[in-house]
Amino acid sequence: MSTESLPMPSVSGNLPDGAGEDRPRELAVRTTDDVLSFFGSLFGSLGAVWIVYGELLPEHGLLGFIVCWYLSFLALYTAVTAMSHPRPVVVDRLMRAIICAGAGIVAFALATTIIYTFVRGWPALHHMNFYTQDMNAVQPTDPLTRGGVLHAVVGSLIELAIATAVALPLGIATAVYMTEVGGPLARTVRTVVEAMTALPDLIAGLFVYTLLIVGLGMQKSGLAAAIALTITMLPIIARSAELSLRVVPGGLREAGLALGAPKWRMVWRVVLPTAGAGLATALILAFARAVGETAPVLITSGASTYFNTNPVNNPMNSLPLFVYSGVRSGEPNFITRAFGAASLLLIIVLVVFVLIRFLASRQKGSVR
Amino acid sequence: MVAHPEHRGWVRGQRRSTAVTVPDVDITAFDPEAPDKPRFIHAGLAPSDRAFNGVSTVIGVLVLVLTAAIGFFLALQLIPTIKHYGFSFFTETDWNPDQNKLGVAAALFGTVEIGLIALAIAFPLALCTALFITEFAPRRIKATLVSLVDLMAAVPSIVYGLWGFFLLQPHVLGLSRWLAEYFGWIPFLSVDTDAHSATWAETQFTASAFIAGIAVAMMVTPLTCAVMRGVFAQAPIGEREAALALGSTKWGVIRTVVLPFGRGGIIGGTMLGLGRALGETIAVLLIISLVYKVNIHALQVGAITTSSLIADRFGDSTSLQLKALLAAGFVLFALTLVVNTIAGMIVTRSRSGAATEI
């Protein structure tokens, strides 16, 4: 999650008439010729494809049109450039166009994902009852003015609170063990923790289901879901907390110890506060991952329609599970509610994400 | 490495010509001919530090035992499963408890198939995005773009599932049909329908491994891109400048410096993405319609992955079938673990070792 920016490569040399003034070589010069050949190719290919694709070819559809437009743009752009430039420049421009298009596709996909979710969820989102009611005694076909996701939000929060309360101290203590105590055993712990990040989230849920629900006869409940989420969160927290503890400068540790502090006090007063922002980032990363986990809660908690604040008894709904069951129901109104819940999920992730950024920027500014 | 001040050990005593008054040494008894004896510095741990080390060791071991126990527990389920179903558990495609026939072959095939489709889409996109961010993007917006990629990785998978199912699927059907029509001679892309007929059987193209693969690619792309970008950004500035000084274009720099330097990151990041794609559950479950057979036709309706098999079947399973599901989960876990480990090794061993923090 580093945000190091790459200094622009600059080549400087003493210009003969520059009176010793260093001037970086301008790398991004754009002449009129460049601009014109770009836009000329763009519109030229648009026109050609419009006629050929729209009128002559048997295919139709927006996707095909855009693909054809892009391909003929590439061809035209190459041809135009080749008329006035040597081969390296032609290849450079071609690759630039391809790379920018690839990045554009990704940006477009991300934008459509977020916008589409909010647009589809809006009809549910702008009713107040969506935030204040549960789905108890609400039929899936009922209008959007009845029922809401309060039970799912509360369920999500309870499950996450339990999972965080267990995984955070354990994860940070494990990270402290790996960095501050060390030894051959710590390397084993690190290897195993890293391996566990490969555990598919569903398997964590299935593990809890088999052992606690089938094996020990526990109810499908929020607690079971919280345990499954803990298994998912623990390796993430331990791993990223270890990364941030490892970059705490050794000089700070030595200074603390040289002042006569015992090791535990040094860790508590020097290492952990210094890595504080990194630890918060670790927590938030794990939180953002866990809040959207559907598969483990699907197996372990069961969907309820009513408000349930007791994690030990009875099924407890959560936001991702609400989304899943809503979509699976096939009822248009329920699907809209599902999109509304998905928008809430996205909002939570966004808020958490802005928090990460904020903390990361504060960490960067802190004294190292 | 931190020097531990509680260093236990021997420190060479120094002999000095100028007198150093050491309080508890009897100067008169000083014998210059006596052999040097190292002074023993006994700085044993304070009780509080012993407790600190003890507690953190206990927690570390606890986490070790807990996590290892999960893996061990999963592995253990293989024994009764293989005992009962024989090794045909790995070759049987059907999951039919009524006929006592259970196997993971179809599910494993589908898992790898969807993973590879996702990778085929995600790899070029991630490479382009990573190159765009490090090489072409204006410096002002670089940090924002990096955050956006991280944000993309943080979007819950179910949201991508919704996106794939509701928004993507209707638009991709045309592409699926086009591929089947012109490239249907490749078995992988053929569909059991007359692709040339005027009214085409749209339902033959929905809920396919291809569409699920696109949705999974959305989850893989940011992960892969983040690793690649981290490595590309570390490409040595001197070599970049050397290439530019020789008159290279931007693409020339990328081809001769950035890509060779970042090869480890490219391969490792891609494999990390594959590891993520293999374990994806909910987006795949939303999109595909489950069929319990090896479906080699990626564009055709119906597919199955290990995780969707588990999510579909855990509820109505007897104890033995549950063990079989856990065994299937273990196979998936082992597969992911192998892929991730190789990826980690490649990224670490490449010239750009510092890019493993994903």
Domains and CATH numbers, chain B: 87-355 (1.10.3720.10)
Give burial (CB, 10 Å; 0-12/13-18/19+) of B254.
buried
pLDDT of residue A28: 64
CB contact under 8 A, A203 and B74: yes
**Is A253's pLDDT higher than 80?**
yes
pLDDT in tens, B297-334: 878 888 888 888 888 888 777 778 888 888 888 888 88
Residues of A in contact with B307 (CB under 8 A): 200, 202-203, 295
pLDDT of residue B15: 45
- CA distances to A162, A286, B140, B313 from A231, rounded to whole Å, are 12, 11, 39, 22
pLDDT of residue B152: 87
Residues of B in contact with A264 (CB under 8 A): 48-49, 51-52
Higher pLDDT, B252 or B2: B252
- Residue B26's pLDDT band, with cuts at 50, 70 and 90, is low
A116 touches A345 (CB < 8 A): no
Tell me the nearest-neighbour CA distance from A306 into chain B, angstroms. 22
Paired sense of beta strands B9-11 and B39-41, if any = antiparallel
- Residue B358's pLDDT band, with cuts at 50, 70 and 90, is very low
Find all residues with CB under 8 Å of B299, minimum gap 6, and list them. Answer: B176, B179, B180, B189, B190, B191, B205, B208, B209, B210
Residues of chain A with CATH 1.10.3720.10: 150-365
A110 touches B145 (CB < 8 A): no
**Is B226's pLDDT higher than 90?**
no
Chain A interface, mutation test: which of B7, B62, B63, most A Cβ atoms within 10 Å? B63
B253 touches B239 (CB < 8 A): no
CB atoms within 10 A of CB B189: 19
pLDDT of residue A115: 93
Chain A interface, mutation test: which of B131, B158, B287, most A Cβ atoms within 10 Å? B158
pLDDT in tens, A7-21: 444 444 444 454 556
Find all residues with CB under 8 Å of A39, minimum gap 6, and list them. Answer: none
CB contact under 8 A, B244 and A59: no
d(CA A233, CA A197): 9
Which of A8, A178, A207 is nearest residue B70 as measured by Cβ atoms?
Answer: A207
* Residue at token pair 């039919």: B96
CB contact under 8 A, A293 and B156: yes
pLDDT in tens, B159-201: 999 999 998 888 888 888 888 878 877 877 777 766 566 666 7
pLDDT of residue B24: 59
Nearest CA among A280, A284, A283, A282 for reference residue A350: A284
Of 1.10.10.200, 3.30.70.1280, 1.10.3720.10, 2.40.10.10, the CATH number of A150-365 is 1.10.3720.10
pLDDT of residue B89: 81
Which of A99, A198, A357 is nearest residue B136 as measured by Cβ atoms?
Answer: A99
**Is A264's pLDDT higher than 70?**
yes
Mean pLDDT on A31-55 = 84
Tell me the nearest-neighbour CA distance from B15 into chain A, angstroms. 26
Percentage of residues of chain B with pLDDT beyond 70: 85
In DSSP terms, which residues pair with B208 in a beta bridge?
A: B301
Q: Which of A95-104, A306-315, B148-157 has the highest mean pLDDT?
A: A95-104
Identify the closest residue of chain A to B178 by CA–CA distance: A59
Chain A interface, mutation test: which of B56, B57, B288, B310, most A Cβ atoms within 10 Å? B56
B168 touches B286 (CB < 8 A): no
- Residue A313's pLDDT band, with cuts at 50, 70 and 90, is confident
Structure tokens at A7: 């200094």
pLDDT in tens, A137-196: 777 677 777 777 888 888 888 889 999 999 999 999 999 998 888 888 888 888 888 888
